[in-house]
Amino acid sequence: MNIEYKDFEKHLNNVKKILELENSLIDVCNQAYHNNMDCDIHFPSLVDDVINLLSIATDDKDGYIEYWAYELDCGDEYRDGMITDKDNKVLKLKTVEDLWNCIHNDR
């Protein structure tokens, strides 16, 4: 890998903070519209670029980082046993460390 764990963790924790802030702003906007209008806000963000660069630096060919960030809401939506690899082995993707181990052990 071309990146140390401490840097990987630092950047993904920053990604998580940004995504949480974006979600909070969307919630505030949605609460402002009491007529059930959907408030779809798109923020100019470098989150996609950071995730892409981390994927390259870790050689994450299976897209675990993107999946963890967006589909699993930075691990908050992960539930034990919900993800398996091609050999039906359970993958844990709750924390940044779990994600790092998953990518590292996938080689």
**How far, in Å, are 2, 51, 74, 86, 106 from residue 9 at the CA level?**
14, 12, 12, 26, 18
Write out the chain's pLDDT in tens, 107 residues: 589 999 999 999 999 999 888 888 877 777 777 655 566 666 667 889 999 999 999 999 999 999 999 999 999 999 999 998 888 889 999 999 999 999 988 55
CA separation for the pair 47, 14 (Å, rounded): 9
